[in-house]
Structures are given as structure tokens and as C-alpha cells.
Structure 1
Amino acid sequence: MKSSLISKLKSKKAVIGIVGLGYVGLPLLLRYCEMGYKVIGFDIDEAKVQALRDGQSYIEHISAQAIGAAVKQGFEPTTDFSRVAEADALILCVPTPLNKHREPDLSFVLNTTDSLLPYLRTGQVVSLESTTYPGTTDEELLPRIESRGLKVGEDAFLVFSPEREDPGNPNFTTRTIPKVCGGHTAQCLEVGLALYGQVIDQVVPVSSTRAAELTKLLENIHRAVNIGLVNEMKIVADKMNIDIHEVIRAAATKPFGFVPYYPGPGLGGHCIPIDPFYLTWKAREYGVHTRFIELAGEVNSSMPDYVIAKVASALNAAKKSINGSRVLVLGIAYKKNVDDMRESPSVVLMEKLRELGADVSYSDPHIPVFPKMREHSFNLSSVPLTASALSQYDCILLATDHEKFDYTLIKDNAKLIVDSRGRYRESASHIVKA
């Protein structure tokens, strides 16, 4: 069974099923299509599936041309999970958020797996790419798959290979980012290496699914902790009337022992604000208190309040209060040059300003209309940046520093700028660094 599946994967005769067609699944399926595989894409969102059938993209950095080329090559998006039986490989790319108690919410992974179960068969490999705590693959997916009468490692194969997408980063692609892969058994790992080895330049094998799961968490915790450190340093530097961005630029000239991280108004994206707490939650099972992770979380989650305090102070100096002031938030994506709003601190800033009585607007060249979100609601469209428009606001809050913004235009026409990204290096009486 193993040899036959590996042969199909290496000869590109295998059918690849991608489950979840979002920021992770979509680039991955395009790569498999590019390499000549037959790909079926599964999603429960009929609107997404129909857009893909029509050759349209709903993610800014993925072109409609790329989608159209994949469809012409035979890519089939569908909401029909009975077609799971047609696939030789099933790659799960679904969300793993936190619930309201900041605990792991595996409902997307488990519900998706349960949807696949009736159609699983011998000779398939299942790969989970969703970031999660160590043990998820063997504690949750393994018993579900074996409940079908399949022996994992013999009849079917199970691997964990965490996604490493960086939306909007032109320097790295799905092909060039090394791929970590761990199997439930040695045979599973062999199949996993064959699955990814044809489309990724470098596949990094590890000894188990748990090692692969912890690898992904370590990557994101490393970033969260270091961003927490530099956010705390920003507050200290501000009290000392020192520009933290100048300090970081100077420190980064050291050719060893220092990696620059940059402060901001909070953490955003689907990974960094969420994934560390998957390990915090699981560590309790082993009686371990993850103090670094929790402290970094406290610092990073407090940054929106720090920025709002800066806005209040700056308006106060201009003899205005937040209540009744017109505030324009620049950038509502979680990072620059993308249209991804997942966990964006900009939205938190907007809500806090609104709660304090501000008349809030936003401008974002990547997000023309504020989208429908589960936990946030604004009936707004992006404000075009003109000299006249900028002059109408009491405060411009730079929350996400997109390259498309005309920073000279903003500086020359804004009454007051609160810069939470360190974009403006020069000192000016109407620019407040936050």
C-alpha cells in the first residue's frame, strides 16, 4: 500500500485534495496544479467555491490569472465532500482559533475530519497543516481515522506538516519555504516526504507528528516573545524620550547575536496572537506554567490601550477630547501590503476609539469596504486620501504602514498624526510617536 501510494505521488498520478481554500490552502493547491497534479479543492463556503470555478481570486496577492490557469488545467473546487474518496492525499488547511476563554478551538479541524470520515479509503494519506498543540494529530485525528477500520501506517497514512505561509512576502513562496513534516509512523513519514517532496524545494523530516506540531509553535512563540520584548522596550524608551526605532536600527548593525523585531499597536494575523496559547493550554496538562508566553501575551495585548492613550494625550495637547473628534485610522490589515484582517489590532483600535466617542473612519488601499467579521462590525468604506480629506480629521492614526500610502501627502495635510509604526523618522510638532 505504501509503495503504491509513494509511486503515485512521485509520478504525479495521485489526486490531491486540499480541504480549506483560504490563505494556506489556496497557494498550496496552485503549487500542486503548477506541478501537474490533478487537484480537488474542498470548502464549505459556496461563494468561495463559485468564485474559484469562475477563475476569480478572493485573496489580493493571488491573481485571478493563477486561478484561471489552475481551473483550465483541471482544478475542481467543490463543496461535495463525497468526492474525498477520489483523492489519494487529503491536506487539511482549516482555522484553529481560540474560544472566548482563550483556549484552543479545534472545532474546524474536528468537524472537517468528521466530514471526511465516511469517504476515507485504503491507500490515502491525510496531512494536517493547521497550527495546533502537540498531540492533536495522534490524539484526535488518529482514532477517528482508525474508527473507519483503517490501520494507520499500513492501510492509510497520517502526517502533520505545519503551514508556513507569509501572505504578501515577495521573497518567499510556497515552493521555496522549507516544509517540516512528521509522521505517525516511519511509513507515514515516508509517504509525507513523497507528498511534499515533489512541490517543495526542501522538506525537513522530524521524528513524530508531535515534534512537527511543537516546531510550528516554537516558531510563532519566538516571534511573540520577541515582539513583546520590543513593545515593552518601546514604552521604556518613550518614557526616556528616546526613539525606539532609531535604537533598533542602530542595534541591527551588529552582525551577530541580534535579530531586529519591531514594535507596533498590537499583534495581528492568524498565527502570532493565537498559537502560543495552544502550548500554554496544553502545558497545563503536564503541570508546566509557561510564564514567558503569558507575559508576552499580556504585553502585546496591552499595546492597543497604550496607543489609545497616546491618541488621547495628543488630542488633549491640541485642546480636544477623543469624544467628538474625527479620527482616521490608516491601515486595517494586520500587516502592511496585504488585505488580511485576521486578528488585526487596527480593528481593536477602531472599536476602542468608537467606545470613547470618536467619529471613526479608515483608509486602506487593500480593503475598500470593511468586511463582515464574526466579532467586529463597522459599516464603513475606505476613505480616499486627498489633501482636502486629510485636513478634515482631528487625528490621523497610522496603524498599518502600507507602502501605497503617500506619507508626504499625509504629513503635509494632517493636523495631527499618531504614528504607531515608526514610519516618520523626522521630528515634527504635529507627529506623535506611539
Structure 2
Amino acid sequence: MSLKQAINNFEARVGVIGLGYVGLPLAVTTALRGYPVTGFDIDQSKMDQLNAGKSYIGAVSDDELVQVIGDNRFDWTTDFAGLSGCSVIIICVPTPLTRQREPDLTFVKNTAREIAAHISPGTLVVLESTTYPGTTDEVLAPILESSGLVLGKDIFVGFSPEREDPGNKCYNTKSIPKIVAGSGEVAGELVETFYSNVVDQVVRVSTTQTAEAVKITENIFRAVNIALVNELKLVYDEMGVDVWEVIDGAATKPFGFMPFYPGPGLGGHCIPIDPFYLTWKAREYDVPTRFIELAGEINTNMPHHVIDRLRAIVDRACGKGLSASHILLVGVAYKKNVADMRESPSMKLMQLLDEAGARVSYIDPHVPEIPPMRHYSQYTARQAIDLAELERHRFDAVLVATDHDAVDYAALLDLECPVVDTRNVFARLGLSMTNVIKV
């Protein structure tokens, strides 16, 4: 039986490497569609939670997990030797930046080496990790060929960028249109065939470089537009103009405008990171990327701007500096109504406050304890204070960084101290603005 037949007959075992925010939803969705799936991850704690039938990703419910386990469609392991039995292998590992803001493909390269050590002839390998155009053909494919198998004959390579949006109730892995491409015509057909059996809509593009560029363009578009409104906010603040009201007014135009909103910085795995993958790659071609780099500079500076404003507010209201202040940080997840901590600007805010000598407490209904992170390891296991006991504490100011719906914002006003709102949540809810300062 050919690989394409095995895929169409749902007899191809699918290996998903990396069971995080992208990999676990994809693995479960693929299993729900009828494929046998094996998930691979180096994190034993994830294995332990899966063994207990517990999902650690909001996009996957415990019921869905139990269903695919009960149907014997999904299993998981830390032993990569199991890749030898997989006909389709999908890579969903992180692609972070180094401290110097250069691409760090360590996880992709290490994963490719594991695959090369165990891959069988007649296997399709698809990279989903966001990266710069050329990675699939220039980095992944040569490592896979070190197995001795021939690209386009024994093994087939493709790219299909992930488009997960944590907390989005309208779209999920199955319903989000999927960009796909392969290295060569046969690989492209195989990638298209597989994903057509898993998701509702597949959009095939000509090359893996194009598919990689699609994803990175989507995220640069958001990063640049967020930087624009962040800069507009700084300008309009000086003029005494409410940028939130300006954006709401502009959004009434039925064409030619798309609303983006300012904030205390960028979070999530994509937008703060991906633009720098392209700026790095562009240097290879001697092409300047001033617009993208300027956007990154503006967004990166927003936490510093917020703390500068907070410092002035505390000094004016309390007559003391941050070093003598107790600050309540509201929300440490990077996005409302999720527990996702990846690249959260709240961590930078917390660090800046600590460096200023402030005492910092936080509340977050989705993050009762700060998990281990690639950066900010000093905050691992720090716990949120009890929402029901806020009045027992004396705060000099409240800083709203993430506007979770489950927070009682009226109770924050009862603390009778300045409230610095970076998300316009109090105005949106129609609450008193007496002690609220939009920043």
C-alpha cells in the first residue's frame, strides 16, 4: 500500500512531536478524525497528566482526551524510537529567540536528528513550527537525509504553519484554514491529502518557503499594527486625547480600517518573536528591515513606559517612590481568559518593579502559581494572593496588565488607591473612573 493510500484509508500512524499549545490540540484533532496517533514529548510532567486523563491545554477538554484514549486512537511517550512506526510525522516544537534576538532552531534540529535516527522509508515529515523562509529545505531536509534515505523518494517533507489562538471560542484546530506546501510535487500532494482529512479547509501554496513566509507575514502584520497604536497612544496621551475612544471611532468606518489596540507589551509565542526571524534572514540578502525593527523597538519599550508612568502616579498620589510601594499586578498571563504565560509582558513588568525596589503581589484567576519559564526563572512557583482577601492588604497602586473577565474590577476600585489600566477595562465595563488612569 502506498503512503497516499494509507493516509486516505486512515491507516497511517501519525506521530506528533511536541505536545504543547500546538501539538496536543493537533494530536487530539487528528485522532478524533480517525487516525492512530502517537504523541512524543521530552517533558515527563505532560506524560503524567495525560496518563491521568487530564488536559493541560485549554483547547483540549478532558472529555475529548478521554474519548480518543478510550478509542485507542491516541497514546504518548518520551521514547522517540516509536517514530519508526509512524508514516506521518509532524513537528510542533518551539522556535524561540536567543538573548541576541536571533533564531534559535535548537529544538527543530534536535528533533530532526531524532527523526533521522528512527525514520522508515515511505514517511512524510511536516514542520509546523514558525520559522524563517527556507528552514524546511535548508535545515530540516538535510538532517533527515543524513539517515541515508532519499528526499522525494524514500522520505517526503512539507511545511504547514500552525495557527492556534489560545482562548478563541470561534476557531479551533479543525476549523482554522490550513496553509500547506511540500518540497516537490509528490510531497505537496501528500501534505495536502493528509491535512484535508484532518481540518475543514486546506490552502495549498507553491513552495515551503511561501508557506513559511505566509505565517511570518501574518505575525509581522499584527506586530507592526500593534506598534503603530502603541506609538499613537504615546502621542495622544500628551495631547490629552483618549486613544481607545479614537480607535473605537475609527472602527466604525466599514472599509479601510482594522482596529488594533495598545497594551503594556507583546505576549504569546508568535508576535514578540517571529518578526525577528525574518529580520535575521533578510540580512543574508543585504535587505534592510527598518519598519519591522522599529515596530519591535516600540513594542519592546512599552513595559518601560508603563512603569515610568506608574512611578509618576505613585509619587503624585502617595508622595513616595516605587521602592517604598506595594503594587498589585492584575493578570500575569499574556492574554485574557487563558493561562498561557509565553512571553507575557507581565513578567517584564514584575521584573522592572522588583528592580525598582517595589513589593509586588499579583492576582490571576487562571494562573494561581507562576510555572517554570524559559526566562524569569526567579518567579517560578510564586503564588497569587487570594482574590477574596484583597482588602486585607494595603496597596499603593493597582496595575492592570491582563484584563481577565473573571476579575472583580469593582473590588479593585474599593481598594481606594490609584488604578493604572493598560487595557481600558474599566471604561469598557462602565465603572467609575475616579481613581483610574489609562496608561
TM-score by length of 2: 0.96
RMSD: 1.3
CA contact (8 A) 2:28 2:60 kept: no
Query: 1 CA distance for matches of 2:423 and 2:392?
Result: 19
Corresponding position of 1:331: 331
Corresponding position of 1:385: 387
CA contact (8 A) 2:266 2:344 kept: yes
Query: 1 CA distance for matches of 2:71 and 2:418?
Result: 53
Secondary structure of residue in 2 paired with 1:286:
coil
Q: Once the two structures are superposed, what CA deviation does each residue of 1:130-150 show, in whole Å capped at 9, x if it has no partner? A: 000111110111112222222
- Pick from 389, 394, 400 the counterpart of residue 402 of structure 2: 400
Corresponding position of 2:144: 145
Query: 2 CA distance for matches of 1:338 and 1:390?
Result: 27
Identity within the alignment, %: 51
Query: 2 CA distance for matches of 1:232 and 1:390?
Result: 38
Query: 2 CA distance for matches of 1:423 and 1:388?
Result: 19
CA contact (8 A) 1:391 1:414 kept: no
Q: Once the two structures are superposed, what CA deviation does each residue of 1:238-267 show, in whole Å capped at 9, x if it has no partner? A: 101111111111100000000000000000
Query: 1 CA distance for matches of 2:394 and 2:262?
Result: 29
Alpha carbons of structure 1 residues 302 and 390: separation in structure 2 relative to 1, 3 Å: farther
Corresponding position of 2:5: 7
Query: 1 CA distance for matches of 2:392 and 2:70?
Result: 45
Corresponding position of 1:16: 14
Query: 1 CA distance for matches of 2:7 and 2:218?
Result: 29
Query: 2 CA distance for matches of 1:132 and 1:71?
Result: 32
Query: 2 CA distance for matches of 1:411 and 1:94?
Result: 42
Q: CA deviation at 1:45?
A: 1.0
Query: 2 CA distance for matches of 1:417 and 1:342?
Result: 25
Equivalent residue runs for 1:235-254 within 5 Å? 235-254=234-253
Q: CA deviation at 1:71?
A: 1.6
Q: Does 1:109 align with 2:121?
A: no
Q: Does 1:431 align with 2:407?
A: no
TM-score by length of 1: 0.97
Equivalent residue runs for 1:32-431 within 5 Å? 32-74=30-72, 75-318=74-317, 319-376=319-376, 377-378=378-379, 379-386=381-388, 388-389=390-391, 392-425=394-427, 428-431=433-436
CA contact (8 A) 2:158 2:187 kept: yes
Q: Structure 1 residue runs of 4+, over 4 Å off?
A: none
Q: How many residues align?
A: 432
CA contact (8 A) 1:61 1:338 kept: no
Secondary structure of residue in 1 paired with 2:426:
coil
CA contact (8 A) 2:91 2:126 kept: yes
Which one-letter code corresponds to 1:424 in the other structure? F
CA contact (8 A) 2:59 2:172 kept: no
Structure 2 gap ranges (5+): none
Corresponding position of 1:26: 24
Query: 2 CA distance for matches of 1:326 and 1:41?
Result: 45
Query: 1 CA distance for matches of 2:398 and 2:209?
Result: 46
Query: 1 CA distance for matches of 2:262 and 2:31?
Result: 38
Moved more, 382-391 or 323-332: 382-391
Moved more, 381-390 or 316-325: 381-390
Structure 1 gap ranges (5+): none
Q: CA deviation at 1:310?
A: 1.2
CA contact (8 A) 1:53 1:71 kept: no
Query: 1 CA distance for matches of 2:385 and 2:308?
Result: 24
CA contact (8 A) 1:96 1:106 kept: yes
